[in-house]
A = this chain, B = another copy of it.
Amino acid sequence: MPKSSTVNKTPIACTDHNHEHCIEEALIKAEQLCAKRGARLTALRRNVLRLIWKNHAPLGAYDLMDMLAEEDTRRVAPPTVYRSLEFLLDQGLIHRINSLNAYVGCHSPSDDHEEYFLICRECGVAVEVPAKEISRAIDKNAEAMGFTIETQTLEVVGLCPNCK
């Protein structure tokens, strides 16, 4: 196997960390990135991003609608949330977890990275792991079979250190 570029220790998401810091950092990075790109991080989009970062477990679109409703005393319709999600996905600020129909904040939105997810089936936490070597190997195999790769989705479900 490739020499692992992965740090071999418990992910921050699974430790007792200052999560306010995660949220704050994510929002600042998002502001900066959008400013740089001339993309508009509107109040709604910012709110959705903040709510997604509420914890390290992916949230569904309808969960987000409920959370928005709780905060604003005003119900938002599905297209509104889905449009925000689409924007955040396009900007690489969040990822979609296909196996959960849910969305989670991206840890390194600035670089064009390959990643995969370790998902705990008990507490729901989803840890983003760099997948550069694995990804490259898959690309190589695929090309040998005549495929041109555009996107990869690797989702791994199990138990996190806290839940086992």
Contacts and interface: CB of A to CB of B under 8 A. Distances in A.
A23 interface: no
Chain A binding surface, main DSSP class:
mixed
Copies of the protein in its oligomer? 2
Contacts of A164: 148
A160 interface: yes
Interface of A: 1-2, 4, 6, 8-11, 14, 98-99, 116, 118, 120-121, 127, 129, 133-134, 136-138, 140-142, 144-161, 164
A158 B151 CA distance: 7
B145 A10 contact: yes
B141 A149 contact: no
Nearest to A117: B153
A154 B157 CA distance: 11
B146 A157 contact: no
